Amino acid sequence: MSILSVEIAGGPYALAAGPDSTMWVTLVHSGALARVSADGTVETFGVAPGSKPSIITAGPDGALWFTRNGDDRISRITADGVLDDVELPSGSGPFGIVAGPGRALWFTATNSGVIGRVDLDGTVTEVAHPGGMPSMITTGPDGALWFTLNEANAIGRLEPSGALTVREVPTRRGGPVGIAATHDDAIWFTEILADKIGRIPTDEAIQELDLPGKPHAVVADPSGGVWVSLWGASQVARITADGEVSTVDLIPGGEPHGLAVQRDGNGATALWVAMEAGYLWRLPVG
């Protein structure tokens, strides 16, 4: 597998691997999605002007689900481009989304401060109201939903029953954004305002590591540790479970945001990076 660089207009933002070995990317500025094949062929699907497609995830039904931060909707798109919408209350500002317990999609609403779920039939339930600008969300190794609270400078944990726990980030005004569960039964999160990454063994204290470059998104590496996008440095960083850091330079001024790890049919592993300045890179990593 070789390095692949694809130019995509419209503000590539977040990524999710599709069931057909393609990579899907949200185009936050143009109100569209793009599907990218292994050879770099791009197919674009319009959503709606001003819809601001944000975070995207693979659903339990084989479709892709994504938030629309600009017009308060969550959408579902099939591999062949059939689109359906679920409308949320006006002003919600949906952002993070992940497949989670109950074969449901769980989401954050940055403006209303809600953590909610969408069942596959489109039923929406507001499960918790932590406030604090909830941002990205992940399913933890303990079966709970973990999410960043950007303005509250905290990490939330929500059980499917609705029980909520909030932990304050040690560094003041850290601005937590990205979050991911890893194979070592831990939660990792980024602090974009403090240039740090944090790690929470699910039943232990928060650990922090300096990581200059405005870390934004984080994704688990199947071989251990995590990959992080460094928005301010136009780099990606790999951090091992022992805290060792190595970086890879991207296009200067690329504004990297979303990350996804994908394995091909031969077992090779690649890291995909969405850069808001108009690029998508695939880097072989294992």
Active-site amino acid positions: 257
The tokens for 229 are 């996008």
The whole-model pTM stands at 0.96
Tokens 């600008």 sit on residue: 133
| pLDDT of amino acid 100 | 97
Q: What is the DSSP string of the chain?
A: ---EEEE-SS-EEEEEE-TTS-EEEEETTTTEEEEE-TT--EEEEE--TT--EEEEEE-TTSSEEEEETTTTEEEEE-TT--EEEEE--TT--EEEEEEEGGGEEEEEETTTTEEEEE-TTS-EEEEE---S-EEEEEE-TTS-EEEEETTTTEEEEE-TTS-EEEEE-SSTT--EEEEEE-TTSEEEEEETTTTEEEEEETTS--EEEE--S-EEEEEE-TTSSEEEEETTTTEEEEE-TT--EEEEE-STT--EEEEEEEE-TTS-EEEEEEETTTEEEEEE--
Contact residues for 87 (Cβ-Cβ < 8 A; gap 6+): 72, 73
| pLDDT of amino acid 20 | 81
| pLDDT of amino acid 19 | 83
Q: Which CATH class is domain 4-284?
A: mainly beta
Tens digits of pLDDT across the chain (286 residues): 578 999 999 999 999 999 888 999 999 999 999 999 999 999 999 999 999 999 999 999 999 999 999 999 999 999 889 999 999 999 999 999 999 999 999 999 999 999 999 999 999 999 999 999 999 999 999 999 999 999 999 999 999 999 999 999 999 999 999 999 997 789 999 999 999 999 998 777 899 999 989 999 999 998 889 999 999 999 999 999 888 999 999 999 999 999 999 987 777 899 999 999 999 999 998 7
| pLDDT of amino acid 184 | 79
